[in-house]
Chains A and B, each alone.
Chain A
Amino acid sequence: MGGLYPVLAILWSAVLTSCSSNPFVRHHPQKAAWIASPAIVAVYLPSDKLMVSRSAWFAGRTGWSESLLHDSLVALADKTLDEGLRTYAFPGMLRLSTISKSEWGPVEGRRVSEFVFVRGHFPPQGKKLQIEESTPQLVLFMHEVTLGLELGREKLYDIRRTHQISLTPTAPPKYLTLVASWTLWDNLRQQSLSWGISEAKHPISSAATPGELRKLFLDLTRNMATDLGGLP
């Protein structure tokens, strides 16, 4: 037996080190060449793309009434994501205001890896997004943000697992999860530079207070900055 364990350990570590690519993020092969160093970046955070699962649970923990929960969470998300992205990713970023439905193209799916896709709206080919007559070089689209309990990105976005989500959980939940799908869009070339799904996960302590949720959203932006990779 003595000869076997070192061999196993070497094999296992070889397998682990070879596993570094993230199946939830994909970058355009020309990203490094195309990304301009001082780029004007705009971020689009649509308020209607925040989803909350188990809203009754969150209403009980946050102290917001169930009817006001979604609006309160949207306000919190908007403010915190803005703050987090400025801190971790794009210090001088601009905000794109709401884009009307007629300005978008149809819903498009982008493959991230073999079993993971990002779906969202993109500007139609040939149309460059503008902010007050300036054209940002890069736009970060947040397609969907999902706040839930034990709803990690594997459960939500891996097509082999999406059917396994249980609507009637049997055990008490252990984690708060926040998942966001996003695309870093080259506004001049009309091409996605990076696209993927990021997540943040916190153990559920005594209460999911607005303060705790704020930390969760900030964690998400930090993970997003890591997933986005080489930024201008």
Chain B
Amino acid sequence: MILRIIFLSALAAWSNQVFTTPYNLYSGGEIVVIAMDTSLQISVHDLCAEIVRGRPDALPLRCRIGDEWLRDSVTLNYLRWLQQNAAQKMEPQLLRARDPAVAARLQEVQERHIITLASRNDTSWVILFHGEISEPAALHYFAGLTNPSQLARTLFRRKVEPLPTAEQKAFARTQPDSYFEEAPPFLGWVGTSTGISQATVPLTPRSWYRSTLQNQLENFRYISDSSSAWNFVEDEALLNGLRVGGIWHGFIGAELFVLHSRHGVKYSRADTNHSRILDWHYDRWEIGLVGILTKPYAISPQWDLSPQGFVGFNYSFNRETFAVQDPRPEMANLRLQLEPYYKGAIAAIGARLQWKKMVGLDVRTGISSRGRTVKQDPGMQASDSETIAGAFTLDYFLTAGLQWTFRK
């Protein structure tokens, strides 16, 4: 039962907030209460006691009734307008004081907290003015009348800050408004991508690839040239990926990615040794990091287009799937093997079309390589040692991705 009451009161305290901007309670601060209606008048002594209870740092705290706000007809006019316009779906900008005198008065509130209580249709509205803005800092509503403890709980956190000194205020005033910042904020994204990967790079002569693409594996392992993996596995594959990245200051960024593609092994169908193969393919997993250079262009109020350039490196892992009918220890067990991993480089260009800084469509194209890692000096017997399959493999890719972007 007690838990239920706590839960319900927490729910009530949570649900009555229309909007609030971050603000602090200061020790030695001043609380001014304006009641627009005699029925709403609360004891400022009780309110002060409620605020200080549990926040001893707030002392010395001054609380008073702000009747001078109601004696000024222009301000009263604005407060009456607020009383009429307060609503459960509302933005602070829509409650801005339009009269220059009232706007100036609100901008001089500074560290004080002006709590205005207004009622309309059995709902009490709590409007807080604070800081140097000419609009309310917070708006809350309650069914029925409110009381000091409810007000203190709703409006103020437990934490109390010391009053800012004149130097701190002067320094805060020199800080640029975040809206006028020239450097764009950090842009991050999480996205997926899909596309194709193939050996043939567009606009290059077909003859460069002819022999590589025509080569086939004989008797599980024999091949005339094994330096490029495209001699013995299919090059054309669907390339799927997951990407996480970010752009700092609008021009430089980095992205981590995981890519997957599946490549079937090109073994000779004419070779009767291969007749018992059911399935032989490699799942290629690549993880890597690219650096990004970009520049965003606003092409409409909602759309941004950013051309991008990428350079980076990747590690490539191959997982073999090999299934034969009636496995027997023979040539199949001496079949061509790939290294546990290769490493390579990526270069690409692309563009991101971004909608409302929320969703991005990313298209990129480029080349990526993967080669063997030379861990030691090959030495004098290098020519006698076994050739390592896939010593250098280059592919071309074109991918499109959907990104969920966020700004900080």
A contact residues vs B (CB 8 Å cutoff) = 1, 3-4, 7-8, 11-12, 14-15, 18-19, 21, 23-24, 28-30, 33, 105-106, 108, 111, 113-116, 122, 124-126, 154, 158, 160, 189-192
Smallest CB gap from A160: residue in B: B298
| Cα-based distance from A191 to B85 in the complex (angstroms) | 8
- As a 0/1 sequence over residues 280 to 320 of chain B, the CB contacts with chain A under 8 angstroms (1 = contact) are 00000000000000000010111000000000000000000
> Which of B222-230, B353-361, B381-389 sits within the interface?
B353-361
B400 touches A125 (CB 8 A): no
B195 touches A4 (CB 8 A): yes
Smallest CB gap from A114: residue in B: B301
3 shortest interchain CB distances as A-B pairs: A23-B301, A29-B89, A126-B77
A111 touches B361 (CB 8 A): no
A-side binding surface: helix, strand, loop or mixed? Answer: loop
B81 in complex: contacting residue of A12, A14, A29, A125, CB < 8 Å = A125
A191 touches B301 (CB 8 A): no
A30 touches B87 (CB 8 A): yes
B98 touches A122 (CB 8 A): yes
Residues of B within 8 A of A18 (CB): 355, 359
Smallest CB gap from B238: residue in A: A3
Could you tell me the distance in whole angstroms from the C-beta of A11 to the nearest C-beta in chain B? 5
Smallest CB gap from A188: residue in B: B84
B355 touches A11 (CB 8 A): no
Could you tell me the distance in whole angstroms from the C-beta of A145 to the nearest C-beta in chain B? 21
Can you list 5 A-B pairs with a CB-CB distance of less than 8 A?
A11-B402, A14-B402, A105-B98, A116-B301, A122-B98
A33 touches B87 (CB 8 A): yes
Smallest CB gap from A108: residue in B: B98
- As a 0/1 sequence over residues 84 to 103 of chain B, the CB contacts with chain A under 8 angstroms (1 = contact) are 11010111011001111010
Residues of B within 8 A of A21 (CB): 302
| Cα-based distance from A182 to B77 in the complex (angstroms) | 26
B196 touches A3 (CB 8 A): yes
Given contacts A29-B90, A113-B301, contact A4 B196 (CB under 8 A): yes
Tell yes or no: B251 within 8 A of A by CB: no
B300 touches A154 (CB 8 A): yes
B194 in complex: contacting residue of A7, A108, A122, CB < 8 Å = A7
Identify which of A1, A7, A23, A24 gathers the most chain B CB atoms within 10 Å of its CB: A7
Could you tell me the distance in whole angstroms from the C-beta of A4 to the nearest C-beta in chain B? 5
Smallest CB gap from A111: residue in B: B93
A4 in complex: contacting residue of B94, B102, B194, CB < 8 Å = B194
A28 touches B301 (CB 8 A): no
B78 touches A125 (CB 8 A): yes
Tell yes or no: B398 within 8 A of A by CB: yes
Could you tell me the distance in whole angstroms from the C-beta of B80 to the nearest C-beta in chain A? 8
A125 touches B98 (CB 8 A): yes
Number of interface residues of B (CB under 8 A): 33
| Cα-based distance from A110 to B98 in the complex (angstroms) | 11
B302 touches A30 (CB 8 A): no
| Cα-based distance from A33 to B89 in the complex (angstroms) | 10
| Cα-based distance from A113 to B78 in the complex (angstroms) | 25
A125 touches B99 (CB 8 A): yes
B301 touches A30 (CB 8 A): no
Contacting A at CB under 8 A, from B184-243, are: 194-196, 238
A158 touches B301 (CB 8 A): yes
Identify which of A111, A126, A154 gathers the most chain B CB atoms within 10 Å of its CB: A126
Smallest CB gap from A12: residue in B: B361
Could you tell me the distance in whole angstroms from the C-beta of B317 to the nearest C-beta in chain A? 23
A189 touches B400 (CB 8 A): no
A23 in complex: contacting residue of B80, B87, B100, B302, CB < 8 Å = B302
Residues of B within 8 A of A7 (CB): 194-195, 400
Residues of B within 8 A of A160 (CB): 298, 301
A28 touches B298 (CB 8 A): no
A28 touches B98 (CB 8 A): no
| Cα-based distance from A29 to B95 in the complex (angstroms) | 12
| Cα-based distance from A196 to B100 in the complex (angstroms) | 24
Residues of B within 8 A of A192 (CB): 94
Contacting A at CB under 8 A, from B360-408, are: 361, 398, 400, 402
A30 touches B238 (CB 8 A): no
| Cα-based distance from A30 to B298 in the complex (angstroms) | 31
A15 touches B361 (CB 8 A): yes
| Cα-based distance from A96 to B356 in the complex (angstroms) | 39
| Cα-based distance from A105 to B87 in the complex (angstroms) | 25
Given contacts A4-B195, A12-B361, A15-B353, contact A115 B400 (CB under 8 A): no
Residues of B within 8 A of A24 (CB): 301
Could you tell me the distance in whole angstroms from the C-beta of A59 to the nearest C-beta in chain B? 33
Residues of A within 8 A of B81 (CB): 125-126, 189-190
Given contacts A106-B100, A125-B78, contact A4 B84 (CB under 8 A): no
A8 in complex: contacting residue of B94, B298, B301, B400, CB < 8 Å = B400
| Cα-based distance from A192 to B100 in the complex (angstroms) | 18
